[in-house]
Amino acid sequence: KNQVEQSPQSLIILEGKNCTLQCNYTVSPFSNLRWYKQDTGRGPVSLTIMTFSENTKSNGRYTATLDADTKQSSLHITASQLSDSASYICVVSDRGSTLGRLYFGRGTQLTVWP
C-alpha cells in the first residue's frame, strides 16, 4: 500500500532556531517528492520538488533532502521566522499512472514562537 508518513506530528521552536522535519514513504514506482507549506485556512504552496536523481534541493531557508534508496526525505528550515508557522506536507507522486497521482502525508504542524 502506498503511504507517506511524517514526523514529528507537531513541533514548537523558538524564532531563529533551525529544525528538521522527516518523511518516510512506500510509494512505488517513485516519480518525485514534494514538500508543501500550508498556512492555516489556505491551500498548500509548493516549496521543493525532487526527482529520483536529486538528493538535495534548496529554496531560500528551506533545504530538502532525498534518499531514494531508504525512501526517506527531510526538510530543514534554517533561522526560523514567525511566518514559518504552518503545516509542512510531504507529497509523493508515483510513476505508474497518467493521472499524476499524489500521496499526501498528514503534515507536521510547526509553530515558531518569538
Q: Interface residues with another protein (CB under 8 A)?
A: 4, 31-32, 34, 41-46, 49, 51, 89, 93-95, 97-102, 104-107, 109
- Based on CB atoms, which residue is closest to another protein, 18 or 46? 46
> Shortest Cβ distance from residue 11 to another protein (Å)?
14
Check: CB of residue 93 under 8 Å from CB of residue 32: yes
> Shortest Cβ distance from residue 93 to another protein (Å)?
3
The string of DSSP codes covering 66-99 is EETTTTEEEEEE-S--GGG-EEEEEEEEESS-TT
> Shortest Cβ distance from residue 53 to another protein (Å)?
12
Pairing status of strand 30-38 against strand 86-94:
antiparallel
> Shortest Cβ distance from residue 46 to another protein (Å)?
6
- Based on CB atoms, which residue is closest to another protein, 18 or 52? 52
- Based on CB atoms, which residue is closest to another protein, 12 or 79? 12
